Structure 1
């Protein structure tokens, strides 16, 4: 039986927000000191010095350079430029998770006070205000302020954090255009991104009138095990080939409790959501299984649970109703149905043979 345990799994997914001992594998990439560095997949080029602060390292979380970052440091002044693959959600979702991460870092910043509320801006080379920026003033020495900018870049997201010992939140936000202009965007894929707006609370919270149960029917589990991986692969490749981008939903933040991260809903949907971990672009997508009822006439509705990572989607046994976020976390403790690679030229679908008994 192939099994993923929630402790190790969430430690992996939450890497940028957890202590080093609990993080996923982090490794340093070879980069020539004093020279610009081009990220392998996105083609974004970062300089050797940014706003007068020298680059100290280029690193990645995981493998295959799907989640990479450049670190700049001078004494306690820090700038970090992250580039990671967009596998779910959108700029407003991941900016909101980054905001929550900053405002929860009392051990580093003391009291964190928003001083420049999140606002949309137009990134270099783009036509729409597709990025979000915000700033915070902090009280714990040596820092005075921190700022964040997040923007889309084709299939990638770029996040820039700047924490300063001399500049407060508003001053750092004022520096962001200069920082972003110092990056070399000329080799990045051209793409038109939609305008962004900060996430707000959903007007109506999710309702769970029925307690969801794990689907036990062997035939349905066998079918789900076979189709989940194939659908993940087909969806990823179809999205990449669309001549006209799919309609972009407006995301809202559900106000109900979550075991980790936050719950976000596209267009205030009442039947699906993204459980977003940290601000690292990873999470769990929960939605009605559209294919099951078509393949098995008379079958009851069921909800799929898909864990989204930078290069892989992992499906878990479906539920009989919309599961609560804590039930989703519990589901991650159990066996997976299948895992599918969503990055690279070759697609690999691994099916858990334990669910093929009814086939």
Structure 2
């Protein structure tokens, strides 16, 4: 979950390091924005670390361990750019299954299990347990649960427990978390992401020449999107979009398309909430040039805008662009910053 820091550092030209929240080991911790509470002891495991990869508690990790080190768990709480359990469960599965430690992990069930974490009656969460023969651990598990617009992700591994035994311990740990009321309001049942029926095809795309009007429209559309998200909370919710996975998932990113999309795609980075959006630019639609805008949205709400492309770029082209850190501008709340070289 922490490898994304390297990408973020490249994209923002600022260091990214987790900070210790400094909560006494025998005290509980309450997340200010969601109200979720993690006690010092959960289902027999003791909290041994509590860190935040941001400055505003938007990417928190709490580590728990048994005294004999036979079972450990990490609980992540983050605010994703796209609030969708199925999408981030898909990314977390890829992160787990591509690690050398768990490369030969065998899932205990054919599909992830949908369940309810906060007794709201709707199976809004997903979990999966694995047997890991021949490795340092006998079993490992993954669970993702929504808390309003936030996601709670739990990774748990055991040295001697079978997959079924670990599943019991995982559910005990989930039950021990003090869930806020926002965890009981979700109404959309969770279902695993599936492959898109018709994969995207890509033609030759080049970086478009610097265009100040294109940049300003991309930056302004980011602020409009943020405002729309706020207004959605005040109006009846539209049908929750579903996502399909385009192509083969990689550790670094997965490509997804929404049922509500009119073109383009998103790239979910690693498994910690950051998203790159690739969609027709407003300028490209206005002047019929067909350009595509590229933007990176972080968990703190900051949006970075990158150079546009003359046509729909491949995910590899977009990844190389963002990894290179060549931002044209950023939006953070009402503050817009522009790179003069991009005008």
Q: Does the alignment reach a TM-score above 0.5? A: yes
Counterpart in 2 of 1:148?
Answer: 142
Answer yes or no: is the 8 Å Cα contact 2:105–2:130 preserved in 1. Answer: yes
What is the CA–CA distance in structure 1 between the aligned matches of 2:183 and 2:118, rounded to whole Å?
Answer: 13
Residue 103 of structure 1: CA displacement?
1.2
Counterpart in 2 of 1:11?
Answer: 6
What is the CA–CA distance in structure 2 between the aligned matches of 1:293 and 1:254, rounded to whole Å?
Answer: 24
Answer yes or no: is the 8 Å Cα contact 2:284–2:292 preserved in 1. Answer: no
Query: For residues 1-359 of structure 1, what are the structure 2 equivalents within 5 Å?
Result: 11-13=6-8, 24-74=16-66, 75-88=69-82, 90-106=84-100, 108-109=101-102, 111-116=104-109, 117-186=111-180, 188=182, 191-208=185-202, 210-216=203-209, 218=210, 221-242=211-232, 243-256=235-248, 260-267=252-259, 271-289=263-281, 291-293=282-284, 296=286, 298-311=287-300, 312-332=302-322, 333=324, 335-342=326-333, 347-356=334-343
Runs of 5+ unmatched residues, structure 2: none
What is the CA–CA distance in structure 2 between the aligned matches of 1:248 and 1:55, rounded to whole Å?
Answer: 35
Describe the superposition over 1:269-310 as per-residue Cα deviations: whole angstroms up to 9, x where unpaired: 683111122111112111122x3256x4x4312211111211
Describe the superposition over 1:215-241 as per-residue Cα deviations: whole angstroms up to 9, x where unpaired: 22x5xx211221222221221232122
What is the CA–CA distance in structure 1 between the aligned matches of 2:78 and 2:217, rounded to whole Å?
Answer: 28
The change in CA–CA distance for 1:192 and 1:211 in structure 2 (over 3 A counts) is same
SS at match of 1:215: coil
Residue 148 of structure 1: CA displacement?
0.9
Residue 169 of structure 1: CA displacement?
2.1
Residue 89 of structure 1: CA displacement?
5.7
Divergent runs of 4+, >4 A: 187-190, 256-259
What is the CA–CA distance in structure 2 between the aligned matches of 1:334 and 1:164, rounded to whole Å?
Answer: 39
Counterpart in 2 of 1:19?
Answer: none
Task: Give the TM-score normalised by the residue count of structure 2.
Answer: 0.87
SS at match of 2:213: helix
Residue 99 of structure 1: CA displacement?
0.8
Counterpart in 2 of 1:5?
Answer: none
Counterpart in 2 of 1:3?
Answer: none
Residue 198 of structure 1: CA displacement?
0.5
Q: RMSD over aligned Cα, in angstroms? A: 2.6
